[in-house]
Structure 1
Amino acid sequence: MLGESEGRIAELRSAVVRHVTDAGDGMLAFLAPGVQTGLAQALAEPTRTEERVLAGLSGVVSDVNAQVGTLPFVRLQLLLAPALEACRRLLAGPVPDPLIPELRAVTVSAATLAGRLAFETRDDTASRALYADATSQAEALATPWRRAGVHMSHALVTLYSEDGLGGARRLADKAVRTARTGTSARVRARAHALQAEIAAREGLERQAQAALGLAWYDMEAHPQSDPSPSAFSLPHLRGFEGVCELYVGDARSAHDRFDRSADSLSAPREQVQRAIVRTDQALARIKLGEPRAAADLLHECVGAAASTGGRVPAIRLRRARRELRPWRHEAWVADLDDHLMDVLGS
């Protein structure tokens, strides 16, 4: 209300969230007092569920999601679990019929985020079960872009939790097919970008470039009212372009795209993605014959990976470190190993 910038408000909100979670207040810290009472009444008697209760639960999920990159993933799991359990208990109902679609939508968001958090904390069995729940609830909604969002999130964790690219490719293709029938151009763009990355990792240059072209087409559509405007952004798309260049294109072009993407990913919520992009940029530098400069970049990524316990940045870091094996006797590689061991224990 006093005109503070969005960045400053985000910092303040993160500080408040960190404080209340340190104090053990958990999910209730996100709920207004009236909503807390309404939720307790709804859980005791689902027929008394009100729209403001579902709005409160949706807000909890959004707030937890907004803290990705600022708090450890384990803590985020603890914050999200009560909201997901509340959604499940309300779905067992009976909740008033007009509120069921909204309740399903909140459950989809909660279960999808919970699946991602379980993956980040290395519980792949729980992650698969949560994505199955999210998919089941999303299929009952008349909003294809939500189903596509579940498939994309599932595809990304599958990319890093399974050997081979087959499972991730099938989920990405399903996301594309579903997104094409939906109303969110941003979700379609993200689905095509993910499809492009997987094709590039398989060495399929023509398919990767075609999918990237479709992603750009969707990003430039500028619909008046995209139902998911924050689903994808130009910096994220540049990161996907860089990955495609890294695997089936030019390393210099990949490096420059990664650099621009990382510089644009400055918000607290984007720090995990920034670390991922920087590790890919380091791989590009290795291909360009600049291994020491690559090691300098990886030092930057170690702290970001450690602060959240993120699994993907850690995996990317280890892969990049393996590419430095030809220089393993150099002092600057030993310094990087010491940093990795001190901070990540790996």
Structure 2
Amino acid sequence: MYARGSDGRTSLGAGSDFAELLDALGQLGESEQRRQELRTLLVRTTTSTGSGLLALLSPSTQHALSAALADPALLDEELLAAMRTAVSDVNRQVGSIPFVRLQLMLAPLVESCRQLLHADVPAPLLADLQAIAAQTYTLAGRAAFETRDDDASRALYAQATAAAGNTGLPWQRAVVHISHALVTLYSAPGLEQARLLADAAVRDAQAGQSPTVRARAHALQAEIAARSGAAKHAKAALDLAWYDITSDRDGDPAGQSFSPAHLHGFEGVTSLYTGDPAQAHDYFAHAAQALNTPRERVQQAIVTTDQALARIRLNDPQAAAQLLHECIDAAASTSGRVAAIRVRRARSGLRPWRRENWFAELDDHLIDSLGA
């Protein structure tokens, strides 16, 4: 009732009755997690009926955005704040809503950023607009990758890199490089392109003011080094990542977007590829248990799939298959491409046991849920 306006349209954005309701619930002592769950439920319901991004923008914000697109001189800080909140809202739905819906929600914001960046907007607002555009393009690039549109993904990441480079904040461009490197691992042959992007991310992160982003960049560098067999390089990068993640992060502009739980997952991958599957399994189990928010569901599925691969290498294939059943469900519900790829790779490691009944059950589940 609070999410629906007098005109019958759903509105969840700043200034809406629903936003006021959430604020009131918070004042009455309701937890942030419960309020976020309620918001996620409403966003999921709204996107299923096709309302998309417009539901995240109040009617006044929609009007202001239309006016700014017609006359860029009308762009102001209030509208930029609403756009920033909208893209953050979409980002928080990763893991709760299929990527194809997220892509549809982002499309109007992507086009709005493109038009405004090519217009004569007020100069003092340009850096903030570039930052919002970089975040929007990066998220849209990932969504395009997850929906298997690699050409669109590459184009969006190129635009994100350019926009982030114009903010004057190197850590923001590092964030773009990290995301781009991760999708490149699964959309380009070999490791070289991903390695170049990870190295660029480290350079920008070191020039920036975010220990969180530095930790994330070093962790990615460690994974790529481990995959290429460079164990010493991988360990050195992990040590740097731990140094950054355990440093004082008060006031970090990237917030808590990367945690020790995420880093344990990278430690597991490093151990897996440098020859210690038992240690890798423990790292994966620890990370999977800690990655328990809706936003982390995709990452949890990836980590659990890697945990299954470690069990295969420990000669416990049936236990690995049990884990893969969970991963298949998560990959299907989020339409996560990386999780699905990791599941199929782990499944291929179970081929020596293909005559077992539990293997046939896994294959049936895989075909029914992911189509292959």
Q: If the TM-score is normalised by the length of the shorter chain, which range does it land in?
A: over 0.9
Distance 1:25 1:299 in 2: 33
2:136 is matched with 110
User: What is the aligned-residue RMSD (CA, Å)?
Assistant: 0.9
| Pairing 1:226–2:240 present | no
Q: Secondary structure at the match of 2:208?
A: coil
Alpha-carbon distance in structure 1 between the residues aligned to 2:56 and 2:249: 32
CA distance in 2, matches of 1:88, 1:44: 13
**1:194 and 2:220 correspond:** yes
- Say if 2:294 is the partner of 1:275: no
1:28 offset after TM fit, Å?
1.3
Q: Secondary structure at the match of 1:228?
A: coil
Counterpart position of 2:368:
342
Distance 1:314 1:25 in 2: 28
> Contact 2:218/2:237 (CA < 8 Å) preserved in 1?
yes
CA drift at 1:9: 1.5
**Equivalent residue for 1:123?**
149
Alpha-carbon distance in 2 for matches of 1:264, 1:304: 16
Deviations along 1:51-79, one digit per CA (max 9) or x if unpaired, are 11111111111111110111111110000
* TM-score, normalised relative to structure 1: 0.98
Q: Does 1:12 align with 2:38?
A: yes
Aligned to 1:263: 289
1:164 aligns with 2:190: yes
Report the 3-state secondary structure (helix = DSSP H, G, I; strand = E; otherwise coil) of the residue aligned with 1:232: coil
Shift in Å, 1:4:
1.7
Residue 47 of structure 1, aligned match among 73, 77, 88: 73
Instruction: Indicate whether 1:95 and 2:127 are aligned.
Output: no
Map 1:240-255 to 2 at 5 A: 240-255=266-281
Residues 188 and 218 in structure 1, CA contact (< 8 A), matched pair in contact too: yes
2:335 maps to which residue?
309
- Amino acid of the residue matched to residue 56 of structure 1? A
| C-alpha contact (below 8 Å) 1:101/1:141 kept by paired residues | yes
Contact preservation (8 Å) 1:192, 1:211 = yes
**Which string of whole-angstrom CA distances, capped at 9 and with x for unpartnered residues, describes residues 116-159 of structure 1?**
01000001100110011011111112100000001111000000
- 1:196 is displaced (CA, Å) by 0.1
The corresponding residue for 1:62 is 88
Q: Is the 8 A contact 1:38 1:50 kept in 2?
A: no
Q: TM-score, normalised by structure 2?
A: 0.92
Question: Could you say which structure has the greater relative contact order, defined with CA pairs below 8 angstroms and 6 or more residues apart?
Answer: 1
Paired position in structure 2 for 1:142: 168
Q: Given the alignment of the two structures, is residue 284 of structure 1 paired with residue 301 of structure 2, yes or no?
A: no
> Contact 2:212–2:249 (CA<8 Å) still a contact in 1?
no
In structure 2, distance between residues paired with 1:206 and 1:298: 31
Q: Distance in 2 between the 1:277 and 1:258 partners?
A: 6
* 1:216 Cα offset (Å): 0.4
Aligned partners of 1:230 and 1:112: how far apart in 2? 18
List runs of 5+ in structure 1 lacking aligned partners. none
1:322 paired residue number: 348
Contact 1:47–1:96 (CA under 8 A) maintained in structure 2: yes
Deviations 1:179-205, CA, capped at 9 Å, x for gaps: 100000000000000000000001111
The structural deviation recorded for 1:7 is 2.2
The answer on whether the counterparts of 1:60 and 1:80 sit within 8 Å (CA) in structure 2 is: no
2:231 alignment partner in structure 1: 205
3-state secondary structure, aligned to 1:108: helix
Cα separation, 2, equivalents of 1:345 and 1:223: 43
Is the counterpart of residue 184 in structure 1 residue 210 in structure 2? Answer: yes
Q: Give yes or no for contact 1:69–1:269 (8 Å, CA) kept in 2.
A: yes
Residue type of the alignment partner of 2:120:
P
**Do the aligned partners of 2:128 and 2:167 also contact (CA within 8 Å) in 1?**
no
Range with greater deviation from structure 2 (79-88 or 7-16): 7-16
* Counterpart code for 1:262: A
Q: CA deviation at 1:288?
A: 0.7
Q: Separation in 2 of the partners of 1:229 and 1:213? A: 21
Q: State the shift of 1:34 in Å.
A: 2.1
Unaligned runs of 5+ in 2: 1-25
- Partners of 1:58 and 1:229 lie apart in 2 by 15
Contact 2:181 2:195 in 1 (8 A): yes
Deviation at 1:249, TM superposition (A): 3.7
Aligned to 1:83: 109
